[in-house]
């Protein structure tokens, strides 16, 4: 990569990180001290990770979280990492923080129609968001991620939604979300980081800004493939370091644009696009099975395969 471009990407990433840490950590704390809204939960610092085998598991979990394809290649099928959506390595409030998720399980999920343990929820992240395959329950990767989330949630009561958990709800737009307006928002506000084609940007072999669609992004089964979920995330957190700067309309428009692009197939694909939509995407917030730019999204003729892991799966004992 051009050295000048590498420096520019590094500066952009560092500035954006500093800005969102101010917005999400220091500013809320000062507001709380001044009598404002309650501060979101703050996880223990890394310096408090204990020594010993449990601490080793926590540290491994953080490594997997930050660089998933590097530390869990046998389960990962794209260039994303957990921390691309769960910002600040799962600590950031309003960006689906892991401390909020950990204390919410076990929980019934309509997506698979049963009560899920936290490990089961992590399995689905690999299957859908990482476009990979599920680690077996009890796999060291899942144990490490669960240990990391447990550490981040230290001090939170279970079964209660702490301020800052999940994604902030977002009102419906004044006008129906529009692909064309979304393309304009993307070009103006998103392309400088994620690239004009939404395929992300890398430096020295490491992803600096993640791909939002294409073969190296999340597949059609991922939560972020829902326009509603994407709009909530974008409005609260994007552009990086400028969360809340887009209007509600802009967030819905650009989410519609992003989620109307080609991405890997839903692993639950039945062999028929309409049948798969009816079973798994029967919602106005999914573009799966709908036409965009002259193609039907999810059509196997134009849709990358799901579950292409980076390295061979280990053989069963």
pTM score: 0.87
pLDDT of residue 159: 87
Helix, strand, or coil here: 88?
helix
pLDDT in tens, the chain (317 residues): 555 554 445 445 544 544 444 344 444 443 444 456 678 899 999 999 999 999 999 999 999 999 999 999 999 999 999 999 999 999 999 999 999 999 999 999 999 999 999 999 999 999 999 999 999 999 999 999 999 999 999 999 998 899 999 999 999 999 999 999 999 999 999 999 999 999 999 998 889 999 999 999 999 999 999 999 999 999 999 999 999 999 999 999 999 999 999 999 999 999 999 999 999 999 999 999 999 999 999 999 999 999 877 555 444 33
Kindly list the structural domains of the chain, giving each domain's residue range(s) and its CATH number in brackets, ordered by start: 46-166 (1.10.760.10), 179-296 (1.10.760.10)
Q: How many CB atoms lie within 10 A of CB 117?
A: 13
What's residue 181's pLDDT? 98
Tell me what pLDDT residue 314 has: 43
> Which is nearest to 83 in space by CA: 69, 105, 66, 70?
66
Angle between helices 248-258 and 227-237 (to 10 degrees): 130
Q: Which of 245, 226, 228 is nearest to 236 (CA)?
A: 245
Question: pLDDT value at position 31?
Answer: 41
- Tokens of residue 192, six digits: 């400088």
d(CA 225, CA 227): 6
Q: What is the pLDDT of residue 106?
A: 96
């Amino acid at each position: 990569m051009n050295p000048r471009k590498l420096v520019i990407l590094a500066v952009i990433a560092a500035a954006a990180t500093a800005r969102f840490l101010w917005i999400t950590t220091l500013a809320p704390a000062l507001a709380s001290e001044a009598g404002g809204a309650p501060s979101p939960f703050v996880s223990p610092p890394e310096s408090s990770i204990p020594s010993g085998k449990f601490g080793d598991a926590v540290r491994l979990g953080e490594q997997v979280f930050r660089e998933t394809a590097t530390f869990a290649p046998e389960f990962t099928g794209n260039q994303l990492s957990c921390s691309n959506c769960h910002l600040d390595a799962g600590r950031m409030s309003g960006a689906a923080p892991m401390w909020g998720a950990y204390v919410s399980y076990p929980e019934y999920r309509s997506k698979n129609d049963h009560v899920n343990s936290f490990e089961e929820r992590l399995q689905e992240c690999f299957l859908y968001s990482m476009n990979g395959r599920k680690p077996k329950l009890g796999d060291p990767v899942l144990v490490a991620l669960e240990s990391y989330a447990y550490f981040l949630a230290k001090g939170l009561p279970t079964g209660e939604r702490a301020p800052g958990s999940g994604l902030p709800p977002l009102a419906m737009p004044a006008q129906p979300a529009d692909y064309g307006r979304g393309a304009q928002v993307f070009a103006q506000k998103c392309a400088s980081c994620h690239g004009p084609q939404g395929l992300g940007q890398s430096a020295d072999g490491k992803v600096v800004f993640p791909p939002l669609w294409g073969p190296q992004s999340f597949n059609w089964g991922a939560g972020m493939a829902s326009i509603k979920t994407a709009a909530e995330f974008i409005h609260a957190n994007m552009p990086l370091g400028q969360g809340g700067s887009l209007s509600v309309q802009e967030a819905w428009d650009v989410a519609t644009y992003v989620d109307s692009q080609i991405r890997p197939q839903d692993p639950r694909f039945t062999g028929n696009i309409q049948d798969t939509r009816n079973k798994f995407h029967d919602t106005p917030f999914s573009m799966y099975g709908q036409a965009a730019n002259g193609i039907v999204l999810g059509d196997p003729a134009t849709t990358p395969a799901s579950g292409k892991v980076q390295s061979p799966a280990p053989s069963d004992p």
